[in-house]
């Protein structure tokens, strides 16, 4: 199928297919597609450009390299913070499609690890297709950090107990794709290498329907939970400021991390 390049530069690749599906790829495989400031800006630009592109009727979002979909914020990035506990600058708040006012449906295609800040993206996708080798986890508590935005977004996609367990177990435990499918975080599990094709097939079907009806349906689905979500997210910066360790203590915990974990 012919494609044409869309917005996106060094850290995000975007191409629009003739069937109306845009394939967006996080392209920093050497750091497990962790998000730096450049990627955050590029993602926001891609979503905003798609708002004005009638050729784009559905989107598939994936990560390059196969080892990870995304591992959240790049820990080498230092974001200066205001001294007030009532303010927080989070570079990931604008990386999701809904935060950029894009209401065209997004299907996430996940292979390898999806953790931490990856949930800003998964939390704003319509549904998730995952490789059977995909794993999901939230490392925040292990490194002395409050999981606030991530926990809120996942609590809206998962049963409370599952969201709580993932957020609180930190790096000690990872959720398998099969287990995630059992309670609905993942809609389809594929063999390795088949995840993006499966997501593209689903997106192509969605893109074939009248886009006004599709976008209206997406907006209706989100309206069902948006009020609760907005109230919860409003508390997040205060909880992070009050409950997270100082950056140097976080860095020490990260440096001392172990590689052992359980997959369930």
The edge-to-edge listing of strands for the beta sheet with 173-176 is 68-70, 113-115, 135-137, 173-176, 262-263
Q: What residues does each domain of the chain span?
A: 3-194+206-263
Q: Is residue 4 over pLDDT 70?
A: no
- Among 95-99, 111-115, 147-151, where is mean pLDDT lowest? 147-151
Rounded CA separation 234/52 (Å): 29
CA 120 from centroid of its chain's CA atoms = 4
The confidence band for 11, taking pLDDT boundaries of 50, 70 and 90, is very high
Averaged over 107-123, what is the pLDDT?
96
The confidence band for 245, taking pLDDT boundaries of 50, 70 and 90, is confident
CA 75 from centroid of its chain's CA atoms = 17
- The better pLDDT of the pair 74, 32 is held by 32
Rounded CA separation 100/98 (Å): 5
Q: Please, are residues 110 and 62 in contact by the beta-carbon 8 Å criterion?
A: yes
Rounded CA separation 178/134 (Å): 9
3.40.50.1000, 3.40.640.10, 3.90.226.10, 3.60.21.10: CATH of 3-194+206-263 = 3.90.226.10
Per-residue pLDDT, 1 = 58
Integer Rg of the chain from CA: 18
Q: What is the pLDDT of residues 139-169, one digit of tens each?
A: 999 989 889 889 999 999 999 999 999 999 9
- Among 146-150, 176-180, 203-207, where is mean pLDDT lowest? 146-150
Rounded CA separation 76/188 (Å): 34
């Amino acid at each position: 199928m012919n494609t044409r390049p869309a917005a996106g530069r060094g850290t995000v690749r975007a191409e629009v297919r003739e069937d109306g599906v845009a394939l967006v790829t996080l392209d920093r495989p050497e750091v497990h597609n962790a998000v730096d400031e450049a990627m955050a800006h590029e993602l926001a630009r891609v979503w905003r450009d798609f708002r004005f592109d009638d050729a784009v009727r559905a989107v598939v979002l994936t990560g390059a390299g196969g080892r990870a979909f995304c591992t959240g914020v790049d820990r080498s990035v230092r974001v200066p913070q205001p001294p007030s506990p009532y303010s927080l600058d989070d570079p990931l708040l604008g990386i999701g499609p809904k935060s950029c006012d894009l209401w065209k449906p997004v299907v996430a295609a996940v292979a390898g690890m999806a953790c931490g800040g990856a949930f800003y993206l998964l939390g704003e996708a319509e549904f998730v297709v995952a490789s059977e080798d995909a794993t999901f986890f939230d490392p925040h508590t292990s490194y002395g950090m409050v999981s606030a935005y991530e926990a809120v977004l996942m609590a809206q996609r998962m049963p409370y107990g599952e969201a709580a367990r993932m957020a609180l177990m930190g790096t000690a435990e990872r959720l398998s794709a099969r287990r995630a499918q059992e309670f609905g975080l993942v809609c389809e599990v594929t063999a390795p290498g088949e995840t993006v094709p499966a997501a593209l097939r689903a997106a192509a079907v969605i893109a074939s329907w009248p886009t006004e009806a599709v976008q209206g349906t997406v907006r209706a689905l989100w309206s069902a939970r948006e009020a609760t979500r907005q109230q919860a997210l409003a508390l997040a910066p205060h909880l992070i400021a009050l409950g997270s360790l100082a950056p140097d203590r976080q860095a020490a915990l990260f440096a001392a991390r172990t590689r052992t974990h359980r997959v369930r």
